[in-house]
Amino acid sequence: MRRLPLMAGSLLAAIAAAGCSSTQDVLEPSAIAAAPPALGELQTETAGRLPVQAASANTSAALNPGIASRTRLRFDPIVGATVDVAAPLTERLAQRARSRGIALAGSNDPAATHVLKGYFSTLTEGGQTTVIYVWDVYDPAGNRLHRINGQQKAPAGGGEGWAAVPPATMQAIADSTVDQIVSWLASSSG
């Protein structure tokens, strides 16, 4: 039982580190709006503070076609993940969003209705690597509307940190993320 508070503290520290360090390598996922999905550029960015408030969404709701036609989602740079592991994530985000009826906006598209910014880190403990992620959904003016957070365990045996995270783990995160966005959009529209 004593291990649970220690692990929770470690996870919170990892999330804070992903969003609060002064410089991070990031992948520009807004490049995935073009078909076929293209990989973005590696950049260095100053990351802002992560607010403490968190929200989650029920993934069972379906997105109304009217809501989908009004939603244009832009992906901002992903903070904390390496390009190698972020590439399968960004490709799957684009595929999943399109399959769920969400239009994607490019980085300079003024018609974007929602902006998604992701913060990622890993925690390796006892030979098991866990990817910890936080997504903030903003309106075009920069007001945070929603937060999605979670964690996904990578299969054991692949090393430590990002080296231990296979594409399937990042693709599962992308699927869950888009499903939660769809659920949140459906629940906030009514």
Q: What is the mean pLDDT of residues 161-182?
A: 95
pLDDT in tens, 102-113: 999 998 899 999
Residue 81, domain extent:
3-188
Q: Which two tokens stand for residue 30?
A: 């807004």
Highest mean pLDDT among 12-16, 45-49, 160-164: 160-164
Q: What is the mean pLDDT of residues 179-183?
A: 94
What's the chain's Rg over C-alpha atoms? 16
* Cis upstream peptide for 36 (omega within 30°): yes
Give the distance between the most distant pair of CA atoms in the chain.
Answer: 50
Phi-psi category of residue 51: left, alpha or beta, with phi > 0 → left and psi -120 to 50 → alpha: beta
Q: What is the CATH number of the domain that holds 56?
A: 3.30.160
**What's the domain count of the chain?**
1
**Pick the residue with more confidence: 67 or 24?**
67
- Bridge partners, 155 (sequence order): none
Whole-model pTM over 0.95: no
Collect all residues with Cβ–Cβ distance below 8 Å to 26 and sequence separation of at least 6.
Answer: 42, 43, 44, 45, 77, 78, 79, 80
Give residue 118's pLDDT.
97
Q: What is the mean pLDDT of residues 105-122?
A: 94
Q: What is the mean pLDDT of residues 134-146?
A: 96
